[in-house]
């Protein structure tokens, strides 16, 4: 039995359906992420888990108990809020002790547990400081410590890193992963940052317009997006519209209008004539001035360089195919010396393995 089961939950605000028939389950000890653009319903879902909102229909089962109608203060669920919501009139130690006091933990045990959790988040020397005397990253750690100290069954994190700068965010990501391993508490993490979701999560539920668009492990979400939305939302992705023109026993041919035929993985229920989109990650495309033709399992196209974007570690090349379609691809800047392999309008050749991409029926 999963620790958390969300069954067919619906939440409406007036005419707006924030969460639309969502069902999912989270296992104990999992780092589970709700990922989606703003307004996709992820925060509403989180607030329903915390108890601040009640679902209009459907059930939320935590530890085998339906938590409908249980107020937030009675749920074994604690939240790390987006802007930390630390109590400004309490010291770090008092902030962290707050949930223990509310649970009437005896004072000896309380002191010990506060000390332990301060140790866990490396804030022991800051125990007597007030929140306004600390940096953003430190406040973040206090917020996490405060939510963890009473050992909730479920820890909810609402975009906890969004207020930090990029460098600090990366450090905190590593800290979060380690902390989660250490305490073994189930995390439900809400973010709109796909990089963060991919880096942190055991599983990701990509949400769009109140529904779960795809739920899987990060590798599958990234390499086999089930819909155009997921492909587009997660990372960089080339989306080439095409029509199925031939079906083999493990692969099929897709015609990309005005460009040519591309082989791709067979979809189980594909039929000739169906339209769809070929998704292709930039880093899976080979790019060179000339590439050998007729390599087994490879798709081969010609084009010319439309734009170059030097990104430091890689250079992104935007290649214009014959039909004017733009394809993004990248080359690592691994060679010393010249970082730029091509200039605008250079003629180039592209190739990718037939199983590098993924066809989505529309």
Partner 1 sequence: MAKNKSLGRWLISGPPLLYLLIFFAIPTLIMAFAAFRFPGDYGGLLPFIDINPESGKNELLIHAGNWQEFLTFENFSRFFEDTIYVELFIKSFWYAGITTLVCLCMSYPLAWLIARSPKKYRDLLILLVILPFWSNFLIRVYAWMIILGPQGYFAMTINQGLALVGIAPIQLMYSHFAVIVVLVYVHLPFMVLPLYANLEKHDVALLDAAQDLGASGWRRFWKITWPLSLPGVWAGSALVFIPALGMFAVPDLLGGTDGMMIGNLIKQQFLDSRDWPFGSVLSIMLTLAVLMMAGLGMMIGRGRQRNAL
Binding footprint of partner 1 on the chain (CB under 8 A): 50-52, 71-74, 77-79, 81, 83, 85-89, 91, 93-94, 97-99, 102-103, 107, 110-111, 114, 128, 130, 146-147, 150
State the minimum distance, in angstroms, from the CB of residue 213 to partner 1: 28
Angle at 83 between CA 80 and CA 84, to 5 degrees: 45
State the minimum distance, in angstroms, from the CB of residue 94 to partner 1: 6
In terms of CB distance, is 80 or 197 closer to partner 1? 80
State the minimum distance, in angstroms, from the CB of residue 72 to partner 1: 5
The residues, ordered by sequence, that sit 6+ positions from 163 with a Cβ below 8 Å of its Cβ are 82, 83, 84, 136, 140
State the minimum distance, in angstroms, from the CB of residue 184 to partner 1: 20
Q: How far apart are CA 179 and CA 117, in angstroms?
A: 11
Q: Where are the alpha helices (DSSP H) in the chain?
A: 42-50, 92-102, 107-120, 136-148, 166-183, 194-200, 218-223, 228-233
Token pair for residue 222?
A: 């990234």
Q: How far apart are CA 183 and CA 199, in angstroms?
A: 19
State the minimum distance, in angstroms, from the CB of residue 120 to partner 1: 17
- Give the strands of the sheet with 31-35, arranged side by side: 77-80, 154-158, 186-191, 31-35, 203-208, 211-216
Q: How far apart are CA 327 and CA 238, in angstroms?
A: 6
Radius of gyration of the chain (CA): 25
Q: How far apart are CA 311 and CA 8, in angstroms?
A: 43
In terms of CB distance, is 79 or 140 closer to partner 1? 79
In terms of CB distance, is 111 or 284 closer to partner 1? 111
Quick check: 127 and 93 in contact, CB under 8 A?
A: yes
In terms of CB distance, is 88 or 324 closer to partner 1? 88
In terms of CB distance, is 2 or 85 closer to partner 1? 85
Report CA-CA distances (Å) from 308 to 134, 305, 327, 352: 42, 8, 12, 20
In terms of CB distance, is 55 or 99 closer to partner 1? 99
Name the phi and psi angles at 147, rounded to 5: -75, -25
State the minimum distance, in angstroms, from the CB of residue 51 to partner 1: 8
In terms of CB distance, is 100 or 197 closer to partner 1? 100
State the minimum distance, in angstroms, from the CB of residue 76 to partner 1: 9
Q: How far apart are CA 173 and CA 169, in angstroms?
A: 6
State the minimum distance, in angstroms, from the CB of residue 126 to partner 1: 13
Q: Alpha carbon 86 to chain centroid distance?
A: 26
In terms of CB distance, is 51 or 225 closer to partner 1? 51
């Amino acid at each position: 039995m999963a620790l958390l089961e969300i069954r067919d939950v619906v939440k409406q605000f007036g005419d707006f359906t924030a969460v639309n028939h969502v069902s999912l389950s989270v296992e104990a000890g999992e780092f589970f992420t709700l990922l989606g653009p703003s307004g996709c319903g992820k925060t509403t879902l989180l607030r329903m888990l915390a108890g601040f909102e009640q679902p209009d229909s459907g059930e939320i089962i935590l530890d085998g108990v339906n938590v409908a109608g249980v107020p937030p203060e009675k749920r074994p669920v604690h939240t790390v809020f987006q802007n930390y919501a630390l109590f400004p009139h309490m010291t770090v130690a008092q902030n962290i002790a707050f949930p223990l006091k509310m649970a009437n933990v005896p004072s000896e045990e309380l002191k010990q547990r506060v000390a332990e959790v301060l140790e866990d988040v490396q804030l022991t020397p800051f125990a007597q400081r007030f929140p306004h005397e600390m940096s953003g990253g430190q406040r973040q750690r206090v917020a996490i410590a405060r939510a963890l100290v009473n050992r909730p069954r479920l820890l909810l994190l609402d975009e906890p890193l969004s207020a930090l700068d990029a460098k600090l965010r990366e450090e905190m990501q590593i800290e979060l992963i380690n902390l989660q391993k250490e305490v073994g508490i189930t995390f439900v993490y809400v973010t709109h940052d796909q990089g963060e979701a991919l880096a942190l999560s055991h599983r990701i539920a990509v949400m769009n317009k109140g529904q779960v668009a795809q739920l899987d492990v990060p590798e599958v979400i990234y390499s086999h997006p089930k819909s155009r939305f997921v492909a587009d939302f997660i990372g960089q992705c080339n989306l080439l519209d095409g029509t199925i023109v031939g079906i083999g026993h493990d692969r099929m041919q897709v015609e990309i209008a005005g460009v040519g035929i591309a082989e791709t993985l067979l979809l189980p229920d594909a039929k000739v004539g169906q339209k769809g989109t070929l998704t292709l990650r930039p880093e899976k495309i080979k790019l060179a001035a000339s590439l050998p033709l007729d390599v087994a399992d490879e798709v081969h196209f010609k084009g010319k360089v439309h734009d170059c974007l030097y990104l430091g570690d890689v250079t992104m090349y935007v290649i214009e195919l014959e039909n004017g379609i733009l394809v993004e691809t990248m080359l690592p800047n691994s060679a010393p010396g010249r970082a730029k392999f091509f200039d605008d309008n250079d003629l180039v050749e592209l190739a990718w393995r037939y199983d590098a991409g993924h066809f989505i029926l529309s």
